Amino acid sequence: MVRPYAMTKGRTRPTGREFDLIALVVSDVVDAMELPVGPEQGLILELCRNNALSVAEIAAEIDLPLGVVRVLLGDLLDAEYIRVSRPVPPALLPDEHILQEVINGLRAL
């Protein structure tokens, strides 16, 4: 068994921005075994190949701590092996009042 600090080379945070638990990760890599990545990163690439998974789902699937998965994802993102869709911040979501008015308008039709 490899210790988490060995997998992350002693890092506790990804090099870029933090990954939200519900951020969706997708990989377009065809064969992860041909890439210069570790076995854990290869597993992440295989899980996310043409299949969007959240950061939390990835951590649960490969049975690694969330912090370790975030560091590994950061390395994969830096190498451009994955794409990450960040969730919409609540401030950018439509107001509940506006949505209720739309529903009422549709019902009136």
What pLDDT tens digit does each residue of the chain (109 aa) get?
567 667 777 676 777 778 888 899 999 887 766 777 888 888 999 999 888 999 999 999 999 999 889 999 998 998 889 999 887 777 777 788 888 999 999 999 8
pLDDT at 37: 82
**8-state DSSP, 84:** E
pLDDT at 92: 74
pLDDT at 32: 65
* pTM strictly above 0.75: no
- On whether the CB atoms of residues 44 and 71 are closer than 8 A, the answer is no
Other beta carbons within 10 angstroms of residue 44's beta carbon come to 28
pLDDT at 28: 83
The rounded distance, in Å, linking the Cα atoms of 22 and 41 is: 19
The rounded distance, in Å, linking the Cα atoms of 61 and 25 is: 13
Please give the C-alpha separations between residue 18 and each of 12, 69, 72, 98, 107, in angstroms, as whole numbers: 11, 11, 12, 31, 42
